[in-house]
C-alpha cells in the first residue's frame, strides 16, 4: 500500500479551491458577525453523551468514536457543530435572553454527505437561542439567503416544511415507534400505497391526512389547500400560518419559495419549521436549517432554538472556480529600499514572492505576471509575460 494514499472520501484541498474556501469563510463569518452572531470555536472532540444526546440516532451513526486515554470514557469526533453550539448556549454563556452564535470549522463523518461527497465537510452556520416565535425562524431564513447570495449563488430556491403537522396528525393515534418510523419513511418517498397499507388500522381522518401530505407540495397556494384538507388542530393551524408568514417575509429577496409538507428532514431532531436551500443545477441542498427546541433540554436547560448550516466545500463545488490571483516577483536582495517597496505592496493587498537564488528555472510555477526591477534609482513594478506558464 502506498503511504501517500488517503482514506476513501478523505482528500486534500489544493491551493485554488482552498483559497476560495478560505476567502468565503472569512467573508461569510464577517457577514454573520455584523448581524449580531458571536463567533465560537467548539472543540473537535467531546464525550459522546454531549455530542449526540437529544439529536437522534442519525448523528450517532455519523460520529467516529474513540476511547479517551486520560479518562477511559468514550469520546466522539464532532459530526455536527450545532449540538455544540446548543451546549455552549445552555451551560457556558447561560444568557437569559436571546443568544446568537455562529461558527465555521471542519467536522468528520463516518459516511460521505452533501454536494462535495466528503467525510470531512467544513461546516459554517448560525444559531439563534431563546426565542420561540416565528420571527426567529424568519431572521435565520433571511440570514441563510443573504449568506448564499453573498457567496455568489444564483437561482436560489428555498423549500419549506413543518414537522409539527405530521406530529399533530399522529399525536392521538398512540402508535408504536416502529410504525411511526415506517410512516415517516413512506412519506419521504411519497409512497401513498404504502401509507395506506401502514395506516389501515388507523381512523379514516388520520389516514386521509397522511395521504394528503404526499400531494401538498408547490408554491404558497398549496398552504390554502392544506388548510382545507388537513385536520383543524391548533398545532396544524399555527404551522400553516407560520409558513404563510414566511412566504410573505422572504418575498423581497426574489428567490423561489416552495413548500413540501411530506418532507420531514431531521424529523427526530427538529421540532418545528424545517427548510433547505437549493441552487439551479444542484440536486443536493446547499444549506439546511430548522427549529430544534428540544435539544437544549438534554443539557438541562430547555431553550427555543433555530438555525441553519452549510458545507463550505460543497458550496464551492456549486460556484465557478476562480483562477489563483497573480503575484509580483521580487529579487532576493538586502536592499532596504526593496524591503520597503515589498512591504508597501503587501500592505496594499498585493502578493509578492521573493525569487530565491538558484530557482530561476522554476519561476513559472510561482504564478507571477509582474516583477520588481530597479529603474532610475527606485524599485518599480513592470509586466513580466515571460513568467507566465506556457
Pairwise CA distance, residues 71 & 118, whole Å:
31
**Domain covering 1-154+280-323, topology:** BirA Bifunctional Protein; domain 2 (3.30.930)
Q: What is the layout of strands, in order, in the sheet containing 64-67? A: 45-47, 74-77, 64-67
Question: Per DSSP, what are the bridge partners of residue 379?
Answer: 374
Res. 1: pLDDT tops 60: no
Cell, residue 90? 445552555
Q: Which phi-psi region, left, alpha or beta, contains residue 94 (left: φ > 0; alpha: ψ -120 to 50)?
A: left
Q: Where in the chain is the domain with CATH 3.30.930.10?
A: 1-154+280-323
Res. 328: pLDDT tops 90: yes
Asked if 160 and 270 touch (Cβ cutoff 8 Å), the reply is no
Share of the chain above pLDDT 90, in %: 67
Q: What is the pLDDT of residue 80?
A: 93
Asked if 216 and 151 touch (Cβ cutoff 8 Å), the reply is no
Res. 390: pLDDT tops 60: no
Asked if 107 and 79 touch (Cβ cutoff 8 Å), the reply is yes
Res. 10: pLDDT tops 60: yes
Q: Which residue has the higher pLDDT, 56 or 166?
A: 166
Q: What is the pLDDT of residue 18?
A: 92
Q: What is the pLDDT of residue 49?
A: 84
Q: What is the pLDDT of residue 280?
A: 84
Asked if 220 and 259 touch (Cβ cutoff 8 Å), the reply is yes
Res. 166: pLDDT tops 60: yes
pLDDT band at 324 (very low <50, low <70, confident <90, very high): confident
Asked if 242 and 162 touch (Cβ cutoff 8 Å), the reply is yes
Pairwise CA distance, residues 90 & 85, whole Å:
9
pLDDT tens for 96-118 read 899 999 999 999 999 998 888 89
pLDDT band at 92 (very low <50, low <70, confident <90, very high): confident
Mean pLDDT over each residue of the chain, to the nearest integer: 91
Q: Is the dihedral of CA 52, 55, 57, 58 positive or negative?
A: negative
Q: How far is CA 180 from CA 185, 204, 323, in A?
A: 9, 17, 51
Pairwise CA distance, residues 259 & 142, whole Å:
16
DSSP label at residue 327:
E
Cβ neighbours, 10 Å, residue 305: 29
| Of the ranges 62-76, 168-182, 322-336, the best mean pLDDT one | 62-76
Amino acid at each position: 500500500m502506498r503511504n501517500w494514499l488517503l482514506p476513501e472520501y478523505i482528500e486534500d484541498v489544493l491551493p485554488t479551491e482552498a483559497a476560495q474556501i478560505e476567502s468565503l469563510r472569512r467573508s461569510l463569518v464577517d457577514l454573520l458577525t455584523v448581524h449580531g452572531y458571536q463567533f465560537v470555536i467548539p472543540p473537535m472532540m467531546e464525550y459522546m453523551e454531549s455530542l449526540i444526546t437529544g439529536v437522534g440516532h442519525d448523528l450517532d451513526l455519523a460520529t467516529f468514536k474513540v476511547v479517551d486515554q486520560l479518562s477511559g470514557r468514550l469520546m466522539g469526533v464532532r459530526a455536527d457543530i450545532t449540538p455544540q453550539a446548543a451546549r455552549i448556549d445552555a451551560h457556558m454563556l447561560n444568557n437569559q435572553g436571546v443568544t446568537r452564535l455562529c461558527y465555521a470549522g471542519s467536522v468528520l463523518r463516518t459516511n460521505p454527505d452533501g454536494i462535495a461527497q466528503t467525510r470531512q465537510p467544513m461546516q459554517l452556520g448560525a444559531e439563534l437561542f431563546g426565542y420561540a416565535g416565528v420571527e426567529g425562524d424568519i431572521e435565520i431564513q433571511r440570514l441563510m439567503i443573504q449568506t448564499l447570495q453573498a457567496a455568489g449563488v444564483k437561482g436560489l430556491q428555498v423549500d419549506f416544511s413543518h414537522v409539527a403537522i405530521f406530529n399533530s396528525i399522529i399525536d392521538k393515534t398512540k402508535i408504536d415507534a416502529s410504525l411511526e418510523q415506517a410512516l415517516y419513511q413512506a412519506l419521504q418517498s411519497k409512497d401513498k400505497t404504502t401509507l395506506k397499507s401502514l395506516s389501515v388500522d388507523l381512523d379514516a381522518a388520520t389516514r386521509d391526512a397522511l395521504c394528503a401530505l404526499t400531494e401538498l407540495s408547490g408554491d404558497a397556494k398549496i398552504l390554502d389547500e392544506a388548510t382545507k384538507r388537513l385536520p383543524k388542530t391548533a398545532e396544524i393551524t399555527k404551522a400553516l400560518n407560520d409558513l404563510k408568514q414566511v412566504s410573505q417575509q422572504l418575498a423581497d429577496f426574489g428567490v423561489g419559495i416552495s413548500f413540501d409538507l411530506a418532507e420531514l428532514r431531521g424529523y427526530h431532531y427538529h421540532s418545528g419549521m424545517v427548510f433547505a436551500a437549493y441552487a439551479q443545477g444542484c440536486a443536493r441542498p446547499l444549506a439546511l436549517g430548522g427549529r430544534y427546541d428540544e435539544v437544549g433540554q438534554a443539557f438541562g436547560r430547555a431553550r427555543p432554538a433555530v438555525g441553519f448550516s452549510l458545507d463550505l466545500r460543497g458550496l464551492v463545488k456549486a460556484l465557478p472556480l476562480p483562477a489563483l490571483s497573480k503575484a509580483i516577483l521580487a529579487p532576493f536582495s538586502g536592499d532596504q529600499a526593496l524591503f520597503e517597496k515589498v512591504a508597501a505592496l503587501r500592505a496594499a493587498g498585493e502578493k509578492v514572492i521573493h525569487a530565491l537564488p538558484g530557482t530561476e528555472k522554476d519561476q513559472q510555477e510561482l504564478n507571477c505576471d509582474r516583477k520588481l526591477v530597479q529603474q532610475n534609482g527606485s524599485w518599480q513594478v513592470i509586466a513580466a509575460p515571460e513568467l507566465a506558464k506556457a
